[in-house]
Amino acid sequence: MQIYLPIAEVSVNAFLLLGLGGIVGILSGMFGVGGGFLMTPLLFFIGIPPAVAVATEANQIVASSFSGVLAHFRRRTVDIKMGVVLQIGGLIGAALGVLVFNYLKAIGQVDLLVKLCYVVFLGVVGGLMFIESLNAIRKSKKAGGAPAARRQRSWVHALPFKMRFRTSGLYISVIPPILVGICVGILAAIMGVGGGFIMVPAMIYILGMPTKVVIGTSLFQIIMVTGFTTMLHATTNYTVDIVLAVLLLVGGVIGAQIGTRIGVYMKAEQLRILLALMVLLVCGKLALDLLLTPSEIFSLGAGGGH
């Protein structure tokens, strides 16, 4: 069943979009990531222009994250106070990111930058996650399944403006969470990602949050930042395709509920290694597309595209 997308100006199969939304929704529920870092490249692969894919995917992330965070609220695994601090940084970062995106769109370089960003980030994050997961599996086997102890003191504890986060059991400076939020906000605007693939490791390794509250808090933060990003893209770039967003939303919401249930039955190390392999796979395909000569050497683009 072919459906025409008015803003993207292409026709695609509606069931293909529902399926993609569902798969990414499952990943969102399992790993606590918005899923945008996988969905946006998948949209490139089926012919959606990068500028439209980035802006519309930020929209879809809001729904799948909202669906996932409801399940975490029921389990009381969301640190609302930490989430709000991360959101403050995220909103600042999103505003900066949209300014950069608009400038690149004006000079016709946005497609190349978005794809290059994906190759670099997915390669680095996927590689590090894969190595870390393998080490964790080896350690758990040696220690007979005993969990690794969390580091108690780091440079984060020496910074000023401290605040107590009761749900996470932390008493740390608000500066690192705000900086993490700003980085994630910039990525949300330029790459159309929720930033969970950077947020989750940063919350565990930099802020020292317990793993059980990290996923819910990450999703809680993602909702506000990606919602704000979508609004900015819709009002300044006019690149949010509502038809595409609705189809991805329906699949994403259903998938997130399934993913949350699957995640409960799998070990953390197994989840991380699966996610790392998927990230590296998508990175490889994107890098290949950038290196190979396209079948059509030219394309027709609006407003300043070359």
Q: List the chain pLDDT tens, one digit each, 306 residues.
A: 788 887 777 888 888 888 888 887 787 777 766 567 777 888 888 888 877 887 787 777 777 677 778 877 888 778 888 888 888 998 899 889 888 888 888 887 777 888 888 888 888 878 887 888 788 778 877 765 444 444 555 666 667 777 777 777 777 778 888 888 898 888 878 877 767 777 777 787 777 777 778 888 888 888 888 888 888 878 877 777 888 888 888 887 788 778 877 777 776 667 778 778 888 888 888 888 888 766 655 554 544 444
Q: Which two tokens stand for residue 40?
A: 């946006």
Q: How far apart are CA 154 and CA 156, in angstroms?
A: 5
**Alpha-carbon span 84 to 240, nearest angstrom:** 26
Domain count, the chain: 1
- DSSP at 206: T
Residue 281 lies in a domain: yes
In single-letter form, the type of residue at position 92 comes to: I
- Domain-located, residue 254: yes
**Which pLDDT value is given to residue 154?**
63
Q: How many C-beta neighbours within 10 Å does residue 80 have?
A: 13
67 within some domain: yes
Residues 51/237, Cβ–Cβ less than 8 Å: yes
The SS3 assignment for 79 reads coil
What range defines the domain where residue 6 resides? 2-290
Rounded to whole angstroms, how far apart are CA atoms 219 and 227? 12
Residue 296 domain-assigned? no
In a domain, residue 299? The reply is: no
Is residue 297 a part of any domain in this protein? no
CA distance 99 to 125: 25
Q: Which amino acid is at 296?
A: E
User: How far apart, in whole angstroms, are the C-alpha atoms of residue 239 and residue 8?
Assistant: 8
Give the residue among 98, 65, 88, 42 at the shortest CA–CA distance from 195: 65
Residue 303 within any structural domain of the chain: no
Is 300 inside any structural domain?
no
